[in-house]
Chains A and B, each alone.
Chain A
């Protein structure tokens, strides 16, 4: 679809011709479901070949407030307004026990603090809109007739709500305009309309309400367009996607795939995939910026080195995804992107390196994401390693096993019995001591601490070592009970990870994490056994572990198109 660029004074607005015709210029509004979701009422069937989920297994009908980044991107795309996403208070991370992402819809609200910021942005956009209209002698500012008001409401409504307004919505905004115009004039009325639209839940949330009253409901065309674009690229749907929605094409999985591939070819979609991994491992820049270490124990550690660690991980993931995005490469690559300081920290070649990050071969024994100092240091204490923290992260993120709550008195027990070993104990000796003194703890800790012990060749800032307190480190790991394709003995946890990412449990777990991330949806152990997750895992293996293929395939499943009614 050809884009029409309107230059309205200082305000440049890109809108689709089709959308304008549909939503504004004709002054017509669609007859909709009245729930803010746009036209609906289609049959809630799964795409051909996809698992048809029991209704209870589908995500619920819901509304999802835009994330700060999504909100910022939407204002930029539809109003050419620059909004600093960090002005909004961050939302709490939320999710199931092993999948915790900032996309989780449950924690996103419009609190008074959010409302203050949204209100400020609405005022700013409304003021800029009036300036543009004045510069272009917009009819709405000069004793507008009904058609002009209808066009204005339809046009700005579509920009704000990312879909055409339905009859009811358009009627209410037109009435509001007329009332305000009667009291304060057309200019004030136009400004108030834009202010109201940009503080409306229809703007601040996207809906997944669907049409119809059955137990299983089909998402509307515009809901699908919004879901697809925000899910893959954190962006409002563009003109091509809105046109496809208008044409009723988005219940065709092939058509959706075509748009998904188009969206995923851009930088925003790759940034979103990078975010999946940095959130999984707590190494996104904002979080890792607070990483502190005891410099008495780690004299080489500094904020500069910490920032280099974070930069390495982001650069590495982005580069891998840009080159085809194999999950296997992410976890097993024998190269990374280092600057001189980090290469020195790793004992890698510093030849040709300065402040910039360049592709470098890693020293033997270090590979993949779990060889990154950022991941290793974040999951350590400030004065030492933490097999428990590292183990819990591996247990939850690679195996999707939840960590049960500690039983009553567990910490008291630990304090009383465990924290008194020889100060020169290695972590393995410490764990063996704890197992003897408090064997009841091993029913839980026995699952994950050994995974962390298999990374003891990396200290608390991710530097390689072979000994601690003069003792040779034993990093062997033995895995049982996770499936024939992974159970067995390993020299260390990196060797185990090589195997896990290609295994049945590893691929199903990654599919589950991606599902939770994409849909902002709580997941649990049962999710791993769902038909959709198994199919996604099969697709992952068949595509040589392509991360992008998992994201694409998430648009081809029942959970993308349909919702359960809920109460």
Chain B
């Protein structure tokens, strides 16, 4: 494939002086970190409304590994995928086990606040290891978008959801306007001076924020902490930035060929069910952006949310209630209709994996396909395709069925049966593979060794 690089001129266009200052650093190679922190990357691939359980997933192992009809579209990338069946979200709220439990999906932490993730999500935690933020992208934009209840997948910490950006141009700006990967080269005195001055402004700003905080309430101090985190994040980039106006672009440089298209992508306004081509194109551009951000070292974790929880868009279309993915998942259409929607997303999953492989990061990147429920609003005995990450110890072409006891369409009580494995085991597996120490989430029994050799 053709590999493009971030160009100074592109960054200058429309991105402001901040971008202009940073642009000289953009033509760089990807970061090489010692150990697995920074090497291991995570992508959360979210689709709504669960899966048609019987038709989804895979059977067999190794040579006999084969997808069921709801995942057949992922067959071209079968060598890179395993499927885990049998995990339950034990952190589901006792009174609200619906689509809104998307808020607990990546945190697996319990708590009384219904729509609150109760802590950092796994993508945030992995990003924290590298002092970066996750990149959380969204595709479909509905008028309910701003009601976070069904949208809050990623959490910075309890009560602070990370924003899902659905405008590719804004996402591009957010990632690449201040992108400063490491690299070698001759020092530029002018740029070194500018860096020192920026650092000095940030130092002053930190003191300024600290003095401002003195009389604030606890809530407002927390709010200022987010501001302070933003300053520190930028400061870290300054600290690691080389005073280099353009290091040589070596192999494995930033793969911008597809992501560059985001700069010209029109602001999404009507990616509704009657513009499905836009839905796919929009999703693919977001996917390319996410992959480029990982390949360039600008991010180490992120998510692509095709729709929020309970999203209604049926990418294949349909008539009457079958035109609504959410309705379809509630038995308003035959299972085949639901399964065909799963299969459409399986095609996008495979496409994502292929692009990751083409740009050389799939073996360092774990790509988890998740959804907020299973069937009938249950959060039990769920199915999770997992791909990539071979360099991190993941094994593929495996159909892993973990023991599940009780009503798979039941509530929290069934999920919390001690015989059942928690979704937090999967996050612990991924967290450790990406360099984290210890467990992630609650009710952890341990990593899932059937898929990860550790």
Contacts and interface: CB of A to CB of B under 8 A. Distances in A.
Interface of A: 33-36, 60-63, 65, 86-87, 89-90, 92-93, 106, 108-117, 119-121, 123-124, 127, 168, 172, 176, 179-180, 183-184, 188, 192, 195-196, 199-202, 204, 209, 282, 287-296, 303, 378, 382-383, 405-408, 411-412, 415, 419, 566-567
Interface of B: 15-21, 94-98, 114, 133, 141-143, 145-148, 160-161, 163, 165, 170, 173-174, 177-178, 193, 196-197, 200-201, 204-205, 207-209, 211-212, 214-220, 223-224, 226-227, 229-231, 233-234, 267, 269-275, 319-321, 323, 330-332, 376-377, 411
A114 B133 CA distance: 13
B197 A411 contact: no
A288 B215 contact: no
A184 B197 contact: yes
A65 to B, nearest CB: 8
Contacts of B233: 112, 115
Contacts of A61: 215-217
26 contacts: A34-B215, A92-B148, A92-B163, A93-B146, A108-B223, A109-B223, A109-B226, A112-B174, A115-B230, A115-B233, A115-B234, A116-B173, A116-B177, A184-B193, A188-B197, A201-B212, A202-B208, A204-B227, A290-B142, A292-B274, A295-B274, A296-B319, A303-B270, A382-B273, A412-B376, A412-B377
B95 A290 contact: no
Nearest to A93: B146
Most interface-central of B21, B200, B273 (chain A CB within 10 A): B200
A461 to B, nearest CB: 14
A383 B405 CA distance: 41
A419 B330 contact: yes
Contacts of B177: 116, 120
What are the 4 A-B residue pairs with the smallest beta carbon separation, nearest first? Answer: A120-B16, A292-B272, A115-B230, A123-B17
Given A202-B208, A290-B142, A62 B220 contact: yes
A411 B234 contact: no
Nearest to A180: B200
B204 A408 contact: no
A295 B319 CA distance: 11
A290 B230 contact: no
Given A89-B170, A116-B18, A116-B178, A408 B97 contact: yes
A96 to B, nearest CB: 13
A417 B217 CA distance: 49
B270 A289 contact: yes
B323 A383 contact: yes
A111 B226 contact: yes
A292 B16 contact: no
Given A110-B226, A111-B230, A113-B163, A121 B208 contact: no
A192 B273 contact: no
B330 A415 contact: yes
A112 B229 contact: yes
Nearest to B174: A113
B215 A35 contact: yes
B227 A110 contact: yes
B143 A192 contact: no
Nearest to A419: B332
Contact of B96 (A124, A176, A405): A405
Nearest to B162: A111
Contacts of A116: 18, 173-174, 177-178, 230, 234
B234 A119 contact: yes
A192 B201 contact: yes
A419 B163 CA distance: 34
B18 to A, nearest CB: 4
B206 to A, nearest CB: 11
A63 B223 contact: yes
A168 B273 CA distance: 57
Given A92-B148, A290-B272, A62 B217 contact: yes
B32 to A, nearest CB: 24
B391 to A, nearest CB: 29
B197 A290 contact: no
A303 B271 CA distance: 12
Nearest to B146: A93
A110 B230 contact: yes
B114 A195 contact: no
A406 B215 CA distance: 40
Which has the most chain B C-beta neighbours within 10 Å: A111, A176, A303?
A: A111
A115 B231 contact: yes
A88 B163 CA distance: 12
B165 A411 contact: no
A87 B14 CA distance: 10
Contacts, number: 182
B406 to A, nearest CB: 17
A63 B216 CA distance: 8
Nearest to A200: B208
Contacts of A92: 146, 148, 161, 163
A196 B201 contact: yes
Contacts of B193: 184
A92 B163 CA distance: 9
Given A110-B230, A113-B163, A124-B17, 17 more contacts: A34-B214, A61-B216, A62-B219, A63-B216, A63-B223, A89-B165, A112-B230, A114-B230, A123-B20, A172-B211, A201-B227, A290-B145, A290-B270, A290-B272, A293-B274, A294-B323, A415-B330
Given A176-B204, A282-B143, A567 B217 contact: yes
Nearest to A61: B217
A201 B174 contact: no
A63 B16 contact: no
Contacts of B197: 180, 184, 188, 192
Nearest to B96: A405
A114 B174 CA distance: 9
A340 B61 CA distance: 65
Contacts of B271: 290
Contacts of A209: 215-216
B220 A405 contact: no
Interface centre among B174, B208, B332 (most CB of A within 10 A): B208
B226 A287 contact: no
Nearest to B207: A172
Contact of A124 (B16, B143, B216, B227): B16
Nearest to B171: A113
A202 B205 CA distance: 11
B143 A291 contact: yes
Contacts of A293: 274
A189 to B, nearest CB: 9
Contacts of A87: 170
A127 B18 CA distance: 11
B152 to A, nearest CB: 9
Contact of A290 (B96, B141, B212, B323): B141
A180 B204 CA distance: 11
B14 to A, nearest CB: 9
Contact of B269 (A62, A89, A199, A290): A290
B311 to A, nearest CB: 13
B159 to A, nearest CB: 10
B147 to A, nearest CB: 7
Nearest to A291: B143
A287 B143 contact: yes
B227 A109 contact: yes
Nearest to B209: A201
A292 B270 contact: yes
A192 B207 CA distance: 15
A165 to B, nearest CB: 12
Given A63-B223, A200-B205, A127 B17 contact: yes
B15 A120 contact: yes
Contacts of B209: 200-201
A188 B199 CA distance: 13
A169 B330 CA distance: 60
Contacts of A195: 201
Most B CB contacts (10 A, CB to CB) among A86, A115, A124, A172 go to A115
A378 B365 CA distance: 41
A111 B95 CA distance: 31
